[in-house]
A and B are shown apart, each in its own frame.
Chain A
């Protein structure tokens, strides 16, 4: 029996040299006449330990990491392929604290399986949700999703089941499922991880969505910055077709569903659902007025479910284990789990799937291990470029949609970017406007022009040019953007800006004790 060695194929692992590690392990094994099989698994999401090499033993899977090219010779010397001791030895993978403390539902398989092995997928509960759904009526599926309490994980947190109900209730000869895989928020990569590490799960979720609302075709709108995900998804779709999970008469049920990937073209705004639909239709990604809702008049004017990758990827476990199982996780109206992504200036970065209710402090210090630079963490941006900066005084608030909303902050897609004390928050606020100016679709004046004016006003504030007057002007401008923009781009850019000014006025050179501010 060959020794089984796992080297991740996730693109972050690749960005740290996983391919070179895998190649060298293969060559060295050959040289030493050791019979091994290398499995390119997904990543467990402990990115500070990548490339994380695992070996299968009678005692379970053992981990070594981060493995560099010049470790490989000594790894072989210490017979790592059968669990030998080495300085990079970490222990049993499943017993590692970071993983052990998590509640992995959507990411249960991630890092364990070979992303493109359909046998691996089915051996680890894959397609169980689909098989159950094929025996249910449309309404039963929709009810299950409603009862699970799942809310859109893209950031808007709209109840997924209610969206599906709307699409189900509209009579139409053609309906579509659109997966929003335009994961543009900085600090987020959970969608990418699903697509690269467990693509069949997303496919399964989309088929179930199709069954639920009577849609027979789906599109995955994938950002162009994810070339590895594109390759993996296309391969997975082909494999699913060959195995009768996609196409006509799925598993001899009489039901049909087809799926294709459309590559986006680098416009952040196309993560907004109506802009995404315009883009899919082959147009500029200009945001649409709502109503009509996409659920009623969406892609090519037809009723369309537009859901984020994580929302769709969570459907299989809800269907296979039941709504109650899922909704038992979480707090208040934030049911289930959230894949949290730690990024920026942190020692330990990676994916943490936890029930809602965890605090930033736990995430930053217990999981993240504090800043990478060793300096004090000054601010944290939660929920992408349109999310507020959180100051330390709020690190103990539980992560849940409503609690964050009270703070004028958002949970968004679960991205957490930490900044150490060297950050200048006035520069970050200015960058928020700059980003908005670059990425605005241009439809709404407050967003298109306000973003550029915003940069100028911040420059005046930091230059102490009529500061009090300009602070007032900035507040008015933000108010106009919030209330006068159709979508979140213009409507939420003020969140990071105003939170930066509110909690870090010194960085703007604003003296809060002065009476004129």
Chain B
């Protein structure tokens, strides 16, 4: 963990009202995750306890404290996608990547996460890879996307 780097993020949001939320985004956007080793520094600067920082980070599904794969695949598990058989697609992707949710492939190319609605419900089932949404996803489409993103 680069202490100077974390401090630069803190400096941007230290005096912002409700700054902890944008601060955590800023760190995760930069490093890909929020290292637990940064908690003491954040806690000191933001005048919060380490427990509060931990409580905050663990509350939000979006924040993570571990490294992820190069690409994060999110599968929408919500109702609209269920109505379009996302359960089968979910199984297919898990087997294809050889990992379950919250895991990373051995080659560190992909992490898999569930998500509850991508707002793409008109074209279910949907998945998101990094910041791109894909609609009406089929097994063939998954194969192609995994090839493209690898």
Contact = CB atoms under 8 A, between A and B. Distances in A.
Interface of A: 11-12, 14-16, 47-48, 50, 183-189, 191-192, 223-228, 262-268, 279-285, 300, 341-345, 349-351, 372, 381, 385, 415, 417-420, 423, 428, 431, 435, 438-439, 441
Contact of A267 (B19, B59, B122): B59
Contacts of A192: 119
A15 B120 contact: yes
Which 10 interchain pairs have the tightest Cβ spacing?
Answer: A186-B78, A282-B20, A266-B62, A343-B121, A344-B83, A265-B60, A47-B122, A15-B135, A266-B61, A349-B122
A385 B124 CA distance: 16
Contacts of A281: 17-18
Contacts of B19: 282
B83 to A, nearest CB: 4
B109 interface: no
A341 B121 contact: yes
B93 to A, nearest CB: 17
A280 B21 contact: yes
A228 B123 CA distance: 17
B99 interface: no
B121 A14 contact: no
B21 A419 contact: no
B149 interface: no
Q: Which bucket holds chain B's interface residue count? A: 35 or more
Given A186-B78, A186-B79, A342-B122, 8 more contacts: A15-B135, A188-B117, A225-B117, A266-B62, A281-B17, A284-B59, A385-B79, A415-B121
A226 B136 CA distance: 18
B78 A385 contact: yes
A16 B123 contact: yes
A351 B133 CA distance: 19
B132 interface: yes
A225 B60 contact: no
A262 B136 CA distance: 30
Interface in B23-55: 24-25, 46, 55
Contacts of A228: 131
A418 B124 CA distance: 11
B83 A417 contact: yes
B63, B119, B123, B135: most-surrounded residue (chain A CB, <10 A): B119
Contacts of B21: 262-265, 279-280, 282
Contact of B116 (A12, A184, A300, A342): A184
B18 to A, nearest CB: 4
A372 B115 contact: no
Nearest to B115: A225
B126 A15 contact: yes
A278 to B, nearest CB: 9
Contact of A11 (B82, B84, B133, B136): B133
Contacts of B120: 11-12, 15, 189
B104 interface: no
Contacts of A225: 115, 117-119, 128
A217 to B, nearest CB: 10
Given A192-B119, A418-B83, A419-B83, A344 B124 contact: yes
Contacts, number: 150
B78, B121, B133, B135: most-surrounded residue (chain A CB, <10 A): B121
16 contacts: A14-B132, A16-B123, A16-B135, A185-B117, A186-B79, A187-B78, A224-B62, A263-B21, A263-B25, A266-B62, A267-B59, A285-B59, A343-B122, A385-B116, A423-B83, A431-B82
A267 B60 contact: yes
A16, A285, A372, A423: most-surrounded residue (chain B CB, <10 A): A16
Nearest to B22: A262
B80 A187 contact: yes
A267 B61 contact: yes
A149 B73 CA distance: 43
A16 B121 CA distance: 13
Interface string B117-149: 111111110101001111110000000000000
Contacts of B17: 281, 300
Contact of A189 (B24, B122, B128, B136): B122
Given A280-B18, A385-B78, A266 B121 contact: no
Given A184-B116, A265-B63, A344 B20 contact: no
B119 A226 contact: yes
Contacts of B128: 225
Contact of A345 (B46, B84, B132): B84
Given A280-B18, A282-B19, A265 B62 contact: yes
B122 A341 contact: yes
A423 B82 CA distance: 9
A15 B124 contact: no
Contacts of A226: 119
Contact of B119 (A14, A183, A264): A183
Nearest to B130: A227
A399 B21 CA distance: 38
B121 A189 contact: yes
Contacts of A441: 59
Contact of B84 (A344, A350, A438): A344
